[in-house]
Structure 1
């Protein structure tokens, strides 16, 4: 059984979604310009997931790639490193955008989450699902990625 939250990360760590499985499906399907094959998926403890699609190839859910297999410590650390890579890239782009605008930095910091993989995923799930004042917004970090051209 797939454990929420689910992590969806593009192969070059340019786009990230962390949310319950149903929400990740919605997000990934909405990213129609990013081929499904460019995504990697993991459950809340770092187990790789395989995309489950309907007859037309549209993502509908996830299944465990290797049921019962526990990810190694190095596999977990690699995923933490990939998450940190995405977050660092977002911060650099945000800082560059602020500098290019000629203003002082907005002092907006992309969250940095340290700890073991389950803690990092849980924290990102909480941060990425904070309510916003904009209608029809999935999560602020996702939208920051769009604004900065990370995808």
Structure 2
């Protein structure tokens, strides 16, 4: 069993953000369905990175991160946050389910093994950023929502 994967970013803040970096699987076993634009508009802008497994009969995931996808966004104040979906190896439906990781560029590496649990970035970014996910054993869809900080 293999599935689909996506990182959706919804910007409800009053300012536009720019895409700092993104990557998706480059292996022929995966198909990129949607990639994020350079700019994430404010006011309710939305950008999506979505991919799925093109070869579905054997398994999902991979080693060395070749199945992973990530997006990092930068606010006008220069602060960044990122989300990565990691897809471990699964053969014939057996193995570890996918999970998402988070980071701020200031903090360095990817952190956590979040599945369906929500995550709130620290307010040090200057915005309220909440992450929610819907996942099962072979799929993961993550949504990050950016809001202005309450005054």
Q: Fold conserved (TM > 0.5)? A: no
* TM-score where L is the length of structure 2: 0.28
Q: Which is strand-richer, 1 or 2?
A: 2
Q: Which is helix-richer, 1 or 2?
A: 1
* TM-score where L is the length of structure 1: 0.28
